[in-house]
Amino acid sequence: MKVLKFGGTSVGSVENMSHVKDIINDGHKKIVVLSAMSGTTNQLVAIARDILNKTPNDAITKIDTLHETYMNTIDRLIINTLLNSDCKTYVSGIFSFLSACTYKASSALLDNQIVAQGELLSTYIFNSYLEQEGINASLLPALDFMKIDSFKEPDIEYIKKNFKTVFDNTKDSQIYITQGFICLDETGEISNLQRGGSDYTATIIGAAIKAEEVQIWTDIDGMHNNDPRYVENTKPISNLSFDEAAELAYFGAKILHPQTVIPVRADSIPVRLKNTMEPEAYGTLISEKTSGSGIKAIAAKDNITAIKIKSARMLQAHGFLKKVFEVFEVYKTSIDMITTSEVAVSLTIDDDKNLNKIIKELDNIATVEVDNNHSIICLVGHECVNHQSTYKLFQILQDVKIRMISYGGSNNNISLLIDTKDKIKTLQKLNNYLFELVTL
Ligand code: ADP
Ligand code: ASP
Ligand code: MG
C-alpha cells in the first residue's frame, strides 16, 4: 500500500480538493495524510498568541472570520444537503471549542489543542466530500495511533500496534484518510510534530506499515536545486538519495519537514515528491540510489546563532571540548556546525531558547562571543567534496563574507555560515555559477 500526503495548498481550495480527489481515486487502496487548509495553522497560531497576550477580542475576530471562510468552503464543496449539514455541525463544534479557549488561561497544552484543529477540520471536510462523490473512504483518527516519546521521537512500536488496531477496526475502504502533524505526547496529551510535520506523519506511517512508497504532494514539481522563494531559474531534481534529501531538508529546503526521510531510510521505502497542480510532472524520487556528481542542490537555514568559545591553548587542554559539549547537552540544544582552532571553537545552534543559560555556564570556562542573525548555506551532492568542479565554490565566494565553513564532515555536504543579510545574494551567485548558468 502507498501513503500519499497532501499539503496545505493541495487542500486549500475547492478546486484543489477536486484535483486531490482525482489523484487518489485510481482504484488502489491507499492511506491519505492531509495537512490543514493553507493559512489555517498560521491563523490558529495567531489565535493562541492573542490568548497568551490577553487580547481575547483579537482572537475572537480571527475565529469568526475563519469560521465564515470554512462555512463558505463547505457550501461550495458539499452540495448534498445531509452531508452539508453534518459537516457544518462538526465544523461549528470546532469553532465553538476555539471560542471557549479564549476564556482560558494560556498554556502549552492549550496552544497544542488550538493548533491541532486545522487537520481535524480539513480531514473531516475532505472525507465528507469523498462520501458525496461516492468514493469508499474512511477516517483514521491520528490521535488514536500517532505518539511521540519524551525525546519527541515517534514511538514507533506504539504507532505500529495502534495503527493496526485502528485500521483493522475501520470498515473496509479504498481510501483511508488521516490527519498529518498532530499526535499525542508521552503523557497522552495532544501535541504535534512541529510546523510542516504532516510530511513526517506520512513517512512515520509509511515505516509503520512498511509501505510500498510514500508520496508527498505539494505545490511544486519536486525538490529544486535551490530555494525557489529566493532564487530565479531553479530546476527540479529527478533523483536524490536519502542522505542528500535528509541534508537538504534539515538545512532548510522547506518542501520537506527536516525529519521526513529518517523513518523510511532504514527500510529503503522510496519517497516521491509530486505536484498536485501538475501531476504529470516527474517530480523527485528519493531512494537509496545515488546518482549524478558534484554539487546538486543548495538550501539555506535561517535564525542561526554562532557562538565562539575561546580558551588559551584549547586543543592541548584535553577535556575542554567535552566540557563545552556537556553544557549544550544539559540544555538539550543541538549543534549544527562546528569548527576549531588552537585557541577557539566556533559552533552554531538554531534553538536559542536556552542561550542565556548556556552562555552563563560557558563563561565559567572560556570567553564567549555570540553572533545572531546568521544563515547556514548547505551545498549537497553525492561525493561533492571530492568533485573536480567544487574548487569553483571558493572562487565564487571571494566577495562573500564567510563566518564559518564546514568541509568534509560528510562527503556529501559543504556548509557555509554567513550573515543572513547576504543570503539571497549568495544563493543566487552560487546558483548562477555552480549550475553553469554563467561561466567564471
Ligand atoms: P505543503 O503545504 O504542501 O507542505 P510547503 O510550503 O511546506 O508545502 O513546501 C513547498 C514549498 O517549499 C514550495 O512552494 C517552495 O516555495 C518551498 N521550497 C523551499 N525550498 C525548496 C526546494 N529546494 N525545492 C522545492 N521547493 C522548495
Ligand atoms: N498544518 C501544519 C503546518 O502548517 C502541518 C503541515 O502543514 O505539514 O505547519
Ligand atoms: Mg510542508
Other Cβ atoms within 10 Å of 188 Cβ, number: 9
Give the per-residue pLDDT at 315.
59
pLDDT digits (tens, 9 = 90+) for 275-308: 999 999 999 999 999 888 889 999 999 999 999 9
Task: State how far the Cα of 3 lies from the Cα of 17, in Å rounded to an integer.
Answer: 17
Task: State how far the Cα of 204 lies from the Cα of 154, in Å rounded to an integer.
Answer: 7
Evaluate: CB of 7 within 6 angstroms of ligand 1: yes
**Helix (H) or strand (E) segment spanning residue 297:** strand 297-310
| Grid cell of 120 as nine digits | 481535524
| Separation of CA 274 and ligand 2 centre (Å) | 17
Q: Which atom of ligand 1 is nearest to the CA of 6?
A: 3
Of all ligands present, the nearest one to the C-alpha of 245 is: 1
Of all ligands present, the nearest one to the C-alpha of 181 is: 2
Give the per-residue pLDDT at 353.
94
Q: Which atom of ligand 1 is nearest to the CA of 199?
A: 4
Evaluate: CB of 197 within 6 angstroms of ligand 2: yes
The DSSP string of 332-373 is T--EEEEEE-SSEEEEEES--TTHHHHHHHHTTTSEEEEEEE
Cβ atoms of 216 and 273 within 8 Å: the answer is yes
Evaluate: CB of 218 within 6 angstroms of ligand 1: yes
Give the per-residue pLDDT at 205.
98
Evaluate: CB of 219 within 6 angstroms of ligand 1: yes
Q: Which atom of ligand 2 is nearest to the CA of 8?
A: 7
Give the per-residue pLDDT at 89.
98
Give the per-residue pLDDT at 60.
98
Cα–Cα distance list, 107 to 49, 52, 113 (Å) = 10, 8, 10
Q: Which atom of ligand 2 is nearest to the CA of 36?
A: 1
Cβ atoms of 384 and 413 within 8 Å: the answer is yes
Task: State how far the Cα of 436 lies from the Cα of 204, in Å rounded to an integer.
Answer: 38
Of all ligands present, the nearest one to the C-alpha of 39 is: 2
Cβ atoms of 4 and 126 within 8 Å: the answer is no
Q: Is 61 strand, coil or helix?
A: helix
**Average pLDDT of each block of 10 consecutive residues along the chain (440 residues)?**
98 97 97 98 98 97 98 98 98 98 96 98 98 97 98 96 96 95 98 98 98 98 97 95 96 96 97 97 96 90 96 71 93 94 91 96 93 96 82 82 90 94 94 74
Task: State how far the Cα of 371 lies from the Cα of 359, in Å rounded to an integer.
Answer: 12
Q: Is 197 strand, coil or helix?
A: coil
Cβ atoms of 147 and 192 within 8 Å: the answer is no
Give the per-residue pLDDT at 438.
59
Of all ligands present, the nearest one to the C-alpha of 215 is: 1
Evaluate: CB of 196 within 6 angstroms of ligand 1: yes
pLDDT digits (tens, 9 = 90+) for 113-126: 999 999 999 999 99
Give the per-residue pLDDT at 311.
84
Give the per-residue pLDDT at 312.
65
Q: Which atom of ligand 2 is nearest to the CA of 196?
A: 8
Give the per-residue pLDDT at 109.
96
Residues in the chain: 440
| Grid cell of 111 as nine digits | 496552544
Question: Which is it for the CA torsion 216, 217, 219, 220, positive or negative?
Answer: positive
